[in-house]
Amino acid sequence: MRDPYQVLGLTKSASEADIKRAYRKLAKKYHPDQHPDDKAAQDKFAEINQAYEVVGDKTKRAQFDRGEIDAEGRQRFQGFEGFHGAEGGGRAGNWSFRQSGGGAGAGAGGFDDILNEIFGSFGGARARGAGAAGGMGGGMGGGGMGGAGTAGAGAGTRARPQRGEDVTVTARVSLEELAHGGKARVTLPNGKTLSVTIPAGTEAGDQIRLKGQGNPGPAGGPAGDARVTVQFAPHAYFTPDGSNLRLNLPVALYEAVLGGKVRVPTLDGPVEMTIPANSSGGRTLRLKGKGLPAKGGGTGDLLVSLRIALPEGGDADLEKLMRVWQSTKPYNPRSGME
């Protein structure tokens, strides 16, 4: 896989906010729902998710930047580093070595295999006990090289349980679900169905991590996580804008001219709203607290944009009135644009 920073179009100096913003933008662009028959787009979406899994996690990002894990989040084997001073390892004469952070058994083979390959017969410390290891300056112990003695190499060759792989799923959430309880049900690849709490302030493309709900680890290792990407189901009336909602409301010409009260749909049911007299099309009115739950508490607003709607099929009396207006009271609403 490519460098996760390159996948997200960023540099290593990018802030956490930059990473989140870039991921959200790309996830929306390449989401499978937007490209149901485009395998290239689906592969790109998977690559974007993998990149965000690494650099979107503070711990993994630091490990990647230090070269401890690769672009897919797998532990790199740091191997044998001669002549560099042991770090958490042992010392044999003037030779220095350390064991990978992934534990013995990481990479191509166990730690004994590495010793056999590099030191030849001296790598057989495990078979001969602590004697040969003691001649190198100490037996195997802990995570690297420890004191001489029969405890020797055996303790350092036990592989750590490997963590299972993460899984990625998408939760399509309705605006009503966000406004009333903030919960959605998702089905994991293993068929398990969970109820997921959607935090207040969640936006389309955000991810929620479910600890231990991924694939089980091999040989009894801990399970990975499930990463739930939140997508908003399209709504017939409302468009999310952060914690606010936007609504285009059709109004009759006489309602715009004369003003009055009209019924407006909200996620909590219809309410009455007053339209001021002489309201032009495009004017936006605000209904406080009728939006979505906001991050940090409170609720956003419903922003209602007026759209003047004329009678379907035309109206002879209205046309006659407009001709009179045109001849006796002409005005140019676009004068400021010339």
Provide the 3-class DSSP secondary structure of residue 18. helix
- Whether the model clears a pTM of 0.75, i.e. scores above it, the answer is no
- What percentage of the chain's residues is helix, strand, coil (to nearest 5)? 30, 25, 45
pLDDT(21) > 50: yes
Can you tell me the mean pLDDT for 61-67?
89
What does the pLDDT read at residue 49?
85
What does the pLDDT read at residue 279?
95
As a whole number of angstroms, the distance between CA 105 and CA 110 comes to: 4
- Give the rounded percent of residues in the chain with a pLDDT score beyond 90: 34
What does the pLDDT read at residue 102?
40
What does the pLDDT read at residue 79?
53
pLDDT tens, position by position, 181-206: 778 888 988 888 988 988 888 888 89
pLDDT(125) > 60: no
Can you tell me the mean pLDDT for 88-92?
42
Give 23's DSSP letter. H
Look up residue 284 and give its two tokens: 């936006």
94 CB-near residues (< 8 Å, 6+ apart): 83
Lowest mean pLDDT among 177-181, 196-200, 253-257: 177-181
Read off the pLDDT band of 133 (50, 70, 90): very low
What does the pLDDT read at residue 100?
40
- The DSSP string of 213-276 is -SPPPGGGPPP--EEEEEEEPP-SSEEEETTEEEEEEEEEHHHHHH-EEEEE--TT--EEEEEP
pLDDT winner (highest mean) among 174-178, 284-288, 324-328: 284-288
Cβ count within 10 A of residue 234: 10
pLDDT(119) > 70: no
**CA geometry: angle at 203 spanning 300 and 46, to 5°?**
175
pLDDT(294) > 80: yes
As a whole number of angstroms, the distance between CA 201 and CA 79 comes to: 45
Per the model's pLDDT, the better-predicted residue between 130 and 165 turns out to be: 165
What does the pLDDT read at residue 255?
95
Lowest mean pLDDT among 4-18, 136-150, 253-267: 136-150
pLDDT(336) > 90: no
Can you tell me the mean pLDDT for 296-313?
93
What does the pLDDT read at residue 236?
93
Per the model's pLDDT, the better-predicted residue between 184 and 328 turns out to be: 328
Can you tell me the mean pLDDT for 283-300?
92
Per the model's pLDDT, the better-predicted residue between 168 and 92 turns out to be: 168
As a whole number of angstroms, the distance between CA 61 and CA 49 comes to: 14
What does the pLDDT read at residue 297?
85
- The DSSP string of 284-304 is EEEETT-S-BPTTSSB--EEE
pLDDT(115) > 60: no
- Residue 230, phi then psi, degrees to nearest 5: -90, 125
Lowest mean pLDDT among 11-15, 126-130, 194-198: 126-130
